[in-house]
Amino acid sequence: MPIFLNFNGSILEVGGGNNPLRGGNGEKISVNMDVSDSPLVDVRHDASVYPWPFNAETFDNVYSAYCLEHVSWRDVRKYIAEIYRVLKKGGNAVLFTPNTLEQCKWVIEHGGGDEEASKMLFGGQEFPNHAGAHKNFLSPEWAKRLFEEAGFMDVKIIPHPATPTDMIIQVRKKGA
C-alpha cells in the first residue's frame, strides 16, 4: 500500500529533530518543528503545546515519525486535532508509531519482560526528565477511531514493513 505523502506539496514534519525529511538529492524538504535546538530545526516548539505556531490550513502534508506515542493519553486528541487544523483541505498526514498491541504480543511470545521489552513498551527515554517515555497506548483500532473522530477520511493503518511491532497511519483531510 503506497504512502500518500505528496512530496511536491508543503510538508510539516513534527519531531524531525536532527534527521529531517530529505529529497532524492539530500536536500531538506520539510518545515521541521521540534522541541530540540538542533540547527536542522526550523520551528522550535513542543508539539504537546497547543496551538502549534502555524495558521490553519498551512500545509499540504504532515509527516511524523515516532512522536505520537510521546503525547499524553490525555492530550492525544488535541495533537490529532492540531494535525487536522494545520492541514489544507484534502491534505494528507503520515505517522509512524508503535503498535502497542503488537508489542504486547511480542513480549508474551518471547517469554515475558526484559530490558528489550521495557525499552519497546516504555520508550528509550533519552530526553531530559524522561520526555522520551511512551505516554499512550495505540492499537490499529484505537488509532483509526481517534483519527476518524477528528474528522479525517481515508484512514489507513498498515503494519510497518520492516518492524512488525510498529504501524503506519495514513489519513486525508476532507475537502478539495
Q: In which residue are the cell numbers 530526553 written?
A: 127
pLDDT tens per residue, range 81-122: 999 999 999 999 999 999 888 777 878 787 776 666 666 666
In a 3-state reduction of DSSP, which class is residue 122? helix
pLDDT at 130 over 60: no
What is the rounded CA–CA span in Å between residue 139 and residue 159?
Answer: 11
What is the rounded CA–CA span in Å between residue 81 and residue 37?
Answer: 25
The answer to whether the pTM exceeds 0.75 is yes
Rounded to the nearest integer, the mean pLDDT of the chain is 86
**Element of type H or E holding 10:** none
pLDDT tens per residue, range 43-78: 999 999 999 999 999 999 999 998 898 888 899 999
Q: Give me the residue spans of the domains in the chain.
A: 11-173
> Any residues with CB less than 8 A from the CB of 122 and at least 6 apart, and which?
133, 134
pLDDT at 31 over 50: yes
Could you please state the CATH topology (level 3) that the domain comprising 11-173 is classified under: Rossmann fold (3.40.50)
